[in-house]
């Protein structure tokens, strides 16, 4: 009996991997269909002139900053240079012990202004507000530490825009990204959130807040993440658009209707995955009041961010993401398979539960049993071929997403870059995939223990040239 069980472990594991990869393949195809639709819609750049108008909807970019003294000034300089006519940049210093606030104050000549604001969402106390004497569009909110969600809420309170764009302090935004992001709001009145693509800047050249040359990161750990990001944004976001089940707008780059966020009560302080939680809550709220909210992902507006380049920091980030996911699924478990919540409840939530939460656990159990079986001789070593085949299929789907990315965005312009990416797509299945499973299980364990801290990321600053 045990022999039989162990004998079929490899088949079960491979079947599971193939099933999950097939679901992902379905989303790649869905992404292709969606991309065609978006291309046809946006081909004629309808918004290019309209959105140069001073009458364009006002956008407040929220930049929560905690210990970001290395990158925050470059980020803000890049944001102020964006080609959007009606813009405000609200930097929220979340009680950073480093020189984040003073770096901004000296670089942009910030002065304290009337420190009165309307607390529409409760937040930690604000110490002072600053405005720049050179750049009237810049506001700095200096507050006591309260976490990222709290900072975003403070930014929403102070913001004067019809829309708020949440980005990370180490994020660089492409010059025309906001003009593209705002378009769905002009086309559909039920739009509450629009997200764009996030790519990695590690080792790429940055000048005056702009990415001037994109290269494949040199460190394998970061290169794996570059491949992973490409796949995640095509499968996990674009693929969900036509199905109406988009549940994630990246915290590093998303545009929201300020009023919709205020109506929903702002970002949830106690959630670790505050970006996903907000989107799920906006969708849930929309369905519950009979006005389903539209959330759209646009692949073309791009923002750039720095990925962790050490295993320790990456592990912390991934286990936090995992805890965030579990937290969101647990808070909104009523939505799972509930037809009242449309595609979000019937498709997206079950998918996230199965593929993002259950799959790593099942794969980990299967891998451990397989290893035990091989050591004890209960499993025939030939069974490894079937697992290898499943991983080969996974790598093939990843290359398909890379190809898709090349057709649509032409992100990596050199043959050498493409070759490296293809190599990492294969290597990812053998090394990186197993590591992410370990980090996810670690996150699951911490969640069960009730640990909610964020962990720190060390910023290296952008490579200038």
Partner 1 sequence: MRFQLFLAAWALFAVLVVGYLGYGSLADVGRFIIARRRRRTLSMLSVLLFESDREASAAYDAAGRVPRRVLLDVIQTLAVDLSGQANDRLRELTRVSGLQQFIVKRSRSRRWRMRIQAAQLQYLVVDPNFDRAALLADPHPLVRARAVESLDDTQGEEFLDLLLALLADSSVAVRLAAQQKILDVGTPAVPALQHHMRHCDQRLIEVLELAANLADPRLVETLDEHASAPDASMREMTAVALGNGVARLVAPILLRLMNDDSPAVRAAAVVSLGAVGDLASVTEIGRHLSDRSWAVRRACGVSLDRMGSAGRMVLRQHLSDPDPFARDMARQVLDSAAQRGLPGPSPLIDPLHEIDESELADSIGTPSSFARGVFAVADGLAS
> Within 386-445, which residues bind partner 1 (CB under 8 A)?
386, 388-393, 395-396, 399-400, 402-403, 406-407, 410, 413, 415, 418-419, 422, 425-426
Q: How far is the CB of 74 from partner 1 (least distance, A)?
A: 22
**128 Cβ neighbours under 8 A, 6+ residues apart:** 112, 115, 142
The site that binds partner 1 (CB under 8 A) totals a number of residues, namely 71
The answer to whether 257 and 240 are in contact (CB under 8 A) is no
Cβ contact 242:30 at 8 Å:
yes
Nearer to partner 1, 60 or 305 (CB): 60
Q: For residue 382, state whether it binds partner 1 (rule: CB under 8 A).
A: yes
User: Using CB under 8 A as the criterion, what x/- string covers residues 43-62 for binding partner 1?
Assistant: xx-xxxxx--xxxxxx----
Of 128 and 463, nearer to partner 1 (C-beta) is 128
377 near partner 1 (CB under 8 A): no
Beta-ladder partners of 173: 303
Cα–Cα distance for residue pair 271/266, rounded to 1 Å: 12
Position among 3, 358, 385, 460 found at the interface with partner 1 (CB under 8 A): 385
Nearer to partner 1, 117 or 353 (CB): 117
Identify which of residues 1 and 410 has a Cβ nearer to partner 1 in the complex. 410
Return d(Cα 376, Cα 457) in angstroms, integer. 42
Report, in this order, helix, strand and coil percent for the chain, each rounded to 5. Answer: 55, 15, 30
Binding of residue 114 to partner 1 (CB under 8 A) = yes
With 0-12 / 13-18 / 19 or more C-beta atoms within 10 angstroms meaning exposed / middle / buried, residue 197 is buried
- Binding of partner 1 by 40 (CB under 8 A): yes
Q: Which residues pair with 111 in a beta bridge?
A: 131
Cα(221)–Cα(420) distance, integer angstroms: 13
- Choosing from 4, 116, 290, 450, the residue that interacts with partner 1 (CB under 8 A) is 116
Q: What tokens does 289 get?
A: 């009041």
Interaction between residue 187 and partner 1 (CB under 8 A): yes
Q: What is the DSSP string of 233-256?
A: IIIIIGGGTTTT------TTEEEE
Distance CA 444, CA 216 (A): 31
CA distances from 123 to 104, 127, 156, 161, 164 (A): 22, 12, 10, 19, 17
Q: Which of 6, 185, 267, 351 binds partner 1 (CB under 8 A)?
A: 185
Q: Determine contact, residues 73/89, Cβ cutoff 8 Å.
A: no
Closest approach of partner 1 to the CB of residue 377, in Å: 18
Query: In whole angstroms, what separates CA 349 from the centre of its chain?
Result: 17
The set of residues, in sequence order, having a beta carbon less than 8 Å from that of 372 and lying 6+ positions away, is 6, 378
Minimum gap (Å) between residue 186 Cβ and partner 1: 4
Q: Which is nearer to partner 1, 356 or 406 (CB)?
A: 406
Q: Shortest approach of partner 1 to residue 137 CB, angstroms?
A: 7
* Binding residues among 300-359 for partner 1 as defined by CB under 8 A: none
Tell the smallest beta-carbon distance from residue 58 to partner 1 (Å). Answer: 5
**Residue 98 touching partner 1 (CB under 8 A):** no
Q: Map the footprint of partner 1 across residues 120-179, applying CB under 8 A.
A: 120, 125-128, 131-133, 135-137, 139, 160-162
User: Segment 62-91, which members bind partner 1 (CB under 8 A)?
Assistant: 86, 88
Closest approach, Cβ 163 to partner 1, in A, equals: 9
């Amino acid at each position: 009996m045990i022999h039989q069980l162990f004998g079929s472990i490899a088949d079960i594991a491979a079947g599971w991997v193939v099933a999950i990869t097939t679901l992902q393949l379905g989303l790649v195809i869905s992404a292709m269909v969606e991309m065609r639709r978006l291309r046809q819609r946006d081909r004629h750049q309808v918004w290019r002139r309209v959105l140069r108008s001073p009458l364009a909807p006002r956008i407040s970019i929220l930049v929560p900053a905690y210990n970001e003294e290395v990158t925050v000034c470059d980020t803000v300089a890049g944001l102020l240079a964006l080609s959007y006519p009606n813009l405000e940049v609200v930097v929220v210093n979340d009680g950073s012990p480093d020189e984040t606030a003073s770096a901004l104050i000296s670089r942009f000549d910030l002065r304290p202004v009337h420190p009165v604001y309307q607390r529409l969402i409760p937040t930690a106390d604000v110490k002072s507000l600053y405005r720049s004497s050179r750049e009237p569009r810049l506001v700095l909110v200096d507050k006591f530490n309260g976490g990222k969600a709290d900072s975003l809420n403070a930014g929403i309170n102070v913001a004067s825009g019809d829309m708020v764009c949440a980005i990370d302090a180490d994020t660089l935004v492409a010059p025309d990204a906001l003009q593209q992001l705002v378009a769905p709001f002009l086309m559909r009145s039920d739009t509450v959130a629009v997200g764009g693509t996030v790519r990695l800047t590690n080792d790429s050249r940055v000048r005056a807040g702009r990415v001037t040359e994109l290269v494949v990161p040199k460190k394998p750990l970061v290169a794996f993440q570059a491949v992973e990001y490409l796949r995640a944004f095509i499968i996990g976001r674009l693929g969900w658009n036509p199905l109406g089940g988009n549940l994630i707008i990246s915290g590093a780059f998303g545009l929201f209707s300020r009023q919709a966020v205020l109506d929903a009560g702002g970002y949830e302080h106690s959630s670790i995955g505050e970006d996903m939680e907000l989107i799920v809550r906006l969708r849930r709220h929309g369905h519950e009041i009979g006005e389903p909210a539209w959330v759209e992902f646009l692949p073309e507006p791009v923002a750039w961010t720095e990925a962790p380049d050490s295993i320790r920091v990456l592990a912390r980030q991934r286990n936090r993401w995992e805890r965030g996911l579990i937290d969101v699924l647990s808070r909104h478990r009523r939505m799972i398979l509930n037809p009242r919540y449309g595609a979000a409840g019937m498709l997206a939530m079950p998918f996230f539960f199965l593929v993002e939460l259950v799959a790593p656990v099942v794969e980990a159990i299967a891998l451990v049993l397989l290893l035990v079986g091989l050591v004890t001789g209960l499993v025939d070593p030939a069974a490894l071929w079937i697992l290898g085949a499943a991983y080969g299929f996974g790598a093939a789907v990843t290359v398909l997403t890379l190809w898709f990315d090349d057709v649509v965005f032409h992100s990596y312009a050199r043959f050498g870059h493409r070759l490296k990416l293809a190599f990492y797509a294969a290597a990812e299945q053998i090394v990186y995939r197993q590591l992410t499973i370990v980090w996810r299980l670690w996150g699951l364990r911490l969640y069960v223990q009730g640990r909610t801290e964020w962990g720190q990321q060390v910023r290296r600053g952008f490579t200038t040239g």
